Amino acid sequence: MLSVHILYPKTEDSTFDMDYYCSTHMPMLADALGDACKGWGATAVGSGAWEAIGWAHVDNQEAFDVAMKEHGAKIMADVANYTNVAPQLVVGEVAK
Amino acid sequence: MLSVHILYPKTEDSTFDMDYYCSTHMPMLADALGDACKGWGATAVGSGAWEAIGWAHVDNQEAFDVAMKEHGAKIMADVANYTNVAPQLVVGEVAK
């Protein structure tokens, strides 16, 4: 199982609309992944180095790559609708 | 619900024993939290900026603080048994 974490850095003037993220952006990602999406979630941090963390479990790297190739541009274009910082994508294998 | 992410940076000579992490360290954290631990997981990254990410869901901040006060020293002392990098603790509220 592939794990995709999305880290949003906190900066002096960073903004993050968690309502939009959970109601629109992450469902957009989940829709793009279709049956390959095995769950997703989000954490509001808002202190220290990070504004927020999102995550999704995806069947495998290929399914993620296929979805990103087809829908990645739309998903990335949506980022400006909820934050002014650049997400850091962290992709790995679920160990547990 | 509190979300605790533990980020392990990747450095030039960083090491991470995921078997130990999943079989010994995270169960130690879960035991310390007791019924307040509502799940945990781990992702092996090993490329880019991060070696690994661990996470746990905890009932609330108070339960986390109580467990860390009582068991934190033992848990932190165990870190050297699976990695040579310092974990970054990221605590927030589960939004979804």
What ipTM was reported for this prediction? 0.95
pLDDT at B76: 97
Considering only CB atoms, B43 lies closest to which of A42, A49, A92, namely A92
3-state secondary structure chain A: CEEEEEEEECCCCCCECHHHHHHHHHHHHHHHHHHHEEEEEEEEEEECCEEEEEEEEECCHHHHHHHHHHHHHHHHHHHHHCECCCCEEEEEEECC
DSSP E strand boundaries for chain B: 2-9, 37-47, 50-58, 88-94
Does the pTM of the predicted model rise above 0.90?
Answer: yes
Task: Pick the residue of B89, B90, B91 with the most A CBs within 10 A to test the interface with A by mutation.
Answer: B90
Contact B42 A95 (CB under 8 A): yes
pLDDT at A67: 98
Contact A45 B21 (CB under 8 A): no
- Closest residue of B to A2, CA-based? B43
Considering only CB atoms, A95 lies closest to which of B18, B90, B92, namely B18
Contact B26 A91 (CB under 8 A): no
| Beta-ladder partners of B8 | B52
Round the average pLDDT of chain A to a whole number and report it.
98
